[in-house]
Amino acid sequence: AQSVTQPDIHITVSEGASLELRCNYSYGATPYLFWYVQSPGQGLQLLLKYFSGDTLVQGIKGFEAEFKRSQSSFNLRKPSVHWSDAAEYFCAVGGNNNDMRFGAGTRLTVKP
Amino acid sequence: GAGVSQSPSNKVTEKGKDVELRCDPISGHTALYWYRQSLGQGLEFLIYFQGNSAPDKSGLPSDRFSAERTGGSVSTLTIQRTQQEDSAVYLCASSWGQGYQETQYFGPGTRLLVL
């Protein structure tokens, strides 16, 4: 079965700085990859997803992610972080079943 | 339109009691998922409903957990004889089509605390 690792439990960045959140997956075939954001008191919201095609995926709120098969990674990036980006971010991977596996999450703190 | 709603938002129960958690998906969504989010861990898939098909129960952790979906809409997750390790946030999500390739829309969750 597929699995996801998010190596960073907590990251702190200054407002305006760039951001990269790491995600590594394990799956034998081409995975379906997702990034979700969970803001305090809010439900999870899809930021972006990758199924096939261009390995650089653009999402909402200025986020992007790049699928690198050779590294089994799907890192999330944003050039300039805003205070409102403070939240928990989850990477998820799906295979050929109904079971979508989520990582443990990375909590992002944004310093003024 | 309205998003996915869940009730109650918080539930405190005593060990050994049964609890029912409710999910109202977005109208017209045929797929419905339940997940469990334990402290410091990612979401754990529990069960998946698609239309009138038999649900995929492969993620249910024990036979104390069950779920049903009436009329292809509202779903209830039931936990019998609750244990302290059942304490978690239970999330429901719905989507238009079949499979998680379709964007899932999540509810705010029910926070369950078993004393």
* pLDDT given at position A78: 98
Residue A100 with chain B: CB contacts under 8 Å: 45, 100
- What residues pair up with A78 in beta bridges, in sequence order? A19
Dihedral, CA of residue B38, residue B42, residue B45 and residue B50, to nearest 10: 120
Q: Which residue has the higher pLDDT, B4 or A53?
A: B4
Residue A36 with chain B: CB contacts under 8 Å: 106
The answer to whether A104 contacts B58, with C-beta atoms less than 8 Å apart, is no
Whether B51 shows a pLDDT value over 90: the answer reads: no
Q: Check: CB of residue B23 under 8 Å from CB of residue B112.
A: no
Whether B99 shows a pLDDT value over 80: the answer reads: no
* pLDDT given at position A28: 76
Q: How confident is the model at residue B1 (pLDDT cuts 50, 70, 90)?
A: low
The answer to whether A21 contacts chain B (CB < 8 Å) is no
d(CA A2, CA A60): 26
* pLDDT given at position B6: 95
CA A76-A79-A81 angle, 5° bins: 90
End-to-end CA distance of chain B: 37
Q: How confident is the model at residue A6 (pLDDT cuts 50, 70, 90)?
A: very high
Place of tokens 């081409």: A30
Q: Check: CB of residue A43 under 8 Å from CB of residue A35.
A: no
pLDDT digit string, tens, across residues A39-93: 887 788 999 999 888 899 999 999 999 999 999 999 999 999 999 999 999 999 8
Q: How confident is the model at residue B100 (pLDDT cuts 50, 70, 90)?
A: low
pLDDT digit string, tens, across residues B69-84: 988 799 999 999 999 9
Whether A31 shows a pLDDT value over 70: the answer reads: yes
Distances (CA, A) of A48 to A63, A66, A83, B23, B30: 8, 11, 20, 25, 22
Place of tokens 């095609």: A53
The answer to whether B105 contacts A90, with C-beta atoms less than 8 Å apart, is no
The answer to whether B107 contacts A43, with C-beta atoms less than 8 Å apart, is yes
